[in-house]
Chain A
Amino acid sequence: MKLRTSLPCHLAELCMIRCASWLVPREQRQAWLMEWNAELWHVRELCTPQKGVSWQAEREVAEFCWGAFQDARCLRQADGNGIARVAVMGSAMRCLFSMMVLLAASYGAALLLPGAFVAMHPPKYKDVGHLVLIQSTMAASDTSATISGEQYNTWKSRPRKLFDGFAFYQVMLRSLPDAQGKIVKESVAVASPDLFRLLGVNPDDAAVQSRDGVLPMLVSSSLWHRRFGGDPAIVGREIAIGSDRVRVAGLVPEGFWRLPGKVDAWVLTPDDAIPPDAVGYVVGRVSAAAKYPGWTNSWEMTAPLPNGNTGEFLCVNLSDRMRGPQGLFLFAVILACLALPATTSLPLGEYRGAPRGLSWGTRLRRWSFLGSKLGLLLPIVYFASLDLAHLTTSIDPIKSEYIQLLAAFSLCLFGLRWVLRDQRERCPVCLRTLTNPARVGHPSRNFLAWNGTELICTGGHGLLHVPEIETSWFSTQRWLYLDPSWEILFAESASASYF
Chain B
Amino acid sequence: MATETKLSHTAAMILQTVNAGYIYGFSVMEMTGLPSGTVYPAMRRLERDALIRSHWEEQSIADEEQRPPRKYYKLTPAGKVTLEASRKRYPLLAKLVPEHQEEQV
Interface residues of A (CB under 8 A from B): 34-35, 37-39, 41-43, 45-46, 63-71, 74-75, 78, 488, 491-492, 494-496, 498-499
Q: How far is the CA of A38 from the CA of B62 in the complex (A)?
A: 10
Q: Smallest CB–CB gap between B83 and chain A, Å? A: 14
Contact of B8 with A by CB under 8 A: yes
Contact between chains at B6 and A494 (CB < 8 Å) = yes
Contact between chains at A491 and B6 (CB < 8 Å) = yes
- 21 residue pairs A–B, Cβ–Cβ below 8 Å: A34-B69, A34-B71, A38-B69, A38-B70, A42-B67, A45-B67, A64-B26, A64-B36, A66-B37, A67-B35, A67-B37, A67-B40, A70-B36, A70-B41, A71-B37, A74-B41, A75-B44, A491-B9, A494-B6, A495-B6, A498-B7
Contact between chains at B5 and A78 (CB < 8 Å) = no
Contact between chains at A43 and B37 (CB < 8 Å) = no
Q: How far is the CA of A71 from the CA of B56 in the complex (A)?
A: 19
Contact between chains at A498 and B45 (CB < 8 Å) = yes
For the complex of A and B, list the 6 residue pairs with the smallest distance between their C-beta atoms, beginning with the closest: A67-B36, A70-B37, A67-B37, A74-B41, A491-B8, A38-B68
Contact between chains at A78 and B10 (CB < 8 Å) = no
Known: A70-B37, A70-B41. 11 other contacts (CB 8 A): A34-B56, A38-B69, A39-B24, A45-B67, A67-B40, A70-B36, A70-B40, A75-B44, A78-B48, A498-B7, A499-B38
Chain B contact patch, size range: 20 to 34
Contact between chains at B40 and A42 (CB < 8 Å) = no
* Majority SS at the chain A contact face: helix
Interface residues of B (CB under 8 A from A): 5-11, 24-26, 29, 35-42, 44-45, 48-49, 56, 67-71
Neighbour of A42 across the interface among B26, B42, B48, CB < 8 A: B26
Which residues does chain B contribute within 8 Å of A42, judged by CB atoms? 24, 26, 67, 70
Q: How far is the CA of A66 from the CA of B10 in the complex (A)?
A: 20
What total count of A-B pairs have CB within 8 Å?
87
Whether A492 contacts B8 in the complex (CB less than 8 A), given A498-B42, A498-B45, comes out as: yes
Contact between chains at B26 and A495 (CB < 8 Å) = no
Contact between chains at B8 and A499 (CB < 8 Å) = yes
Which residues does chain B contribute within 8 Å of A71, judged by CB atoms? 36-37, 40-41, 44
Neighbour of A498 across the interface among B8, B29, B68, CB < 8 A: B8
Neighbour of B35 across the interface among A46, A63, A492, CB < 8 A: A63
Contact between chains at A35 and B8 (CB < 8 Å) = no
Which residues does chain A contribute within 8 Å of B26, judged by CB atoms? 39, 42-43, 46, 64
Q: How far is the CA of A71 from the CA of B39 in the complex (A)?
A: 9
Neighbour of A499 across the interface among B10, B25, B36, CB < 8 A: B10
Neighbour of B10 across the interface among A35, A46, A70, A498, CB < 8 A: A498
Q: Smallest CB–CB gap between B4 and chain A, Å? A: 9
Contact between chains at B42 and A499 (CB < 8 Å) = yes
Q: Smallest CB–CB gap between B1 and chain A, Å? A: 12
Q: Smallest CB–CB gap between B85 and chain A, Å? A: 12
CB-nearest residue of chain A to B41? A74
